[in-house]
Amino acid sequence: MAKPKDTYYLTAHCPGNLGTVDVITSYLREQRCYVVEMQTFDDVVSGHFFIRVEFRPPSDTVFDEAQFQQSLQPRAALFAMQWELATAAQRPNVVIMVSRLDHCLNDLLYRYRTGQLAIEIPAIISNHPDLQRLADWHHIPFYHLPVNDDNRAEQEAQVLNVIQECEADLVVLARYMQMLSPQLSTALTGKAINIHHSLLPGFKGEQPYHQAYDKGVKLVGATAHYINNDLDDGPIITQGVEVVDHSHYPEQLTAKGRDIECITLARAVHYHIERRVFLHNGKTVVFTS
């Protein structure tokens, strides 16, 4: 369900000290803001505190965001608090990257079209032309940027140029089957989400579900994470898993795995755009909905 447009997200983190909750809640009460949802986490290992508040300002006055932030700043500074204010009315720009597999792209486009994901999609980038018609049907610009070992640097420069021109708030790798260079990964730190299958034991290379079938796996799943320079090893946002058994042949394992990938990726995007994810010390704090 889409959030009311007068909904705001206030997120903050700081060293854990007495009064960290009160500095936020007291200020919201003074500003006559109604708290819809609040989640906190005090990390006893790192000594760091996290808070996310979803609120609505008073309906009988015009909400002055600049004044709200200016007045909050000195109070937050007393706790060395880093904070951000965002509004549900602003739909973030999400650029999607994809290769030939279309299940995650289809799912994201459906959720976008039906309003389940409050985003704008200014561009779809692919290293193959196969999904051009799908993008055209949704009236979304499609950029076919082929890549090989000889033109990788040039292609990634084109990719980054599209992302920047679209003023993308987030990049989603919806089964984009190419490794990103360290340079592009660094440029997209904290603002690019990848999805991949999760099988135990792990199977790399081609036909992972056939390998899983040969080993008789009992669980299939998927992991959505922020990208970094290590392949499929970035900070995890969401994971999904389902039980399987001997009756699941490679085709059934593949189908089930793709379903989990779609759900897991969509959930990660949802959490990101609603400011539910904090990056800290190489991993995430995620306030689920």
177-204 CB burial, b ≥16 within 10 A, e <16: eeebeeebbebbeebbbbbbbbbeeebe
Q: Is residue 65 domain-shared with residue 97, that is, in the same domain? A: no
Residue 206: predicted pLDDT? 76
Taking only the tens place, the pLDDT of each residue in 77-122 is 999 999 999 999 999 999 999 999 999 999 999 999 999 999 999 9
Asked whether 98 and 68 are in contact (CB, 8 A), the reply is no
In our burial notation (b when 16+ CB lie closer than 10 A, e otherwise), range 258-287 reads bbbbbbbbbbbbbbbbbbbbbeeeeebbbb
* Domain housing 81: 8-87
How many Cβ atoms are within 10 Å of 208's Cβ, its own excluded?
Answer: 20
pLDDT of res. 51:
98
Helix (H, G, I), strand (E, B) or coil at 72: helix
Q: How many domains does the chain have?
A: 2
CA distance 126 to 129: 7
* H and E: helices and strands count for the chain: 8, 13
pLDDT in tens, 210-246: 888 898 999 999 999 999 887 668 999 999 999 999 9
Let me know if 22 is a catalytic residue: no
> Which residues touch 49 (CB under 8 Å, ≥6 apart)?
13, 14, 15, 16, 17, 20, 40, 41, 42, 43
Catalytic position from the list 60, 232, 233, 259: 232
Q: What is the pLDDT of residues 186-211, one digit of tens each?
A: 999 999 999 998 876 777 777 888 88
In a domain, 2, yes or no: no
CATH number at residue 128: 3.40.50.170
Pairing mode, strands 120-126 and 48-56? unpaired
Strands 142-144 and 170-173: unpaired
Here the CATH number for the domain that contains residue 16 is 3.30.70.260
Q: Is residue 1 part of a domain?
A: no
The pTM assigned to this predicted structure is 0.94
Task: Check whether residue 39 and residue 128 sit in a common domain.
Answer: no
Residues 6 or more apart from 57 whose CB is under 8 A from it? 6, 8, 31, 32, 33, 63, 68
Check whether residue 16 and residue 71 sit in a common domain: yes
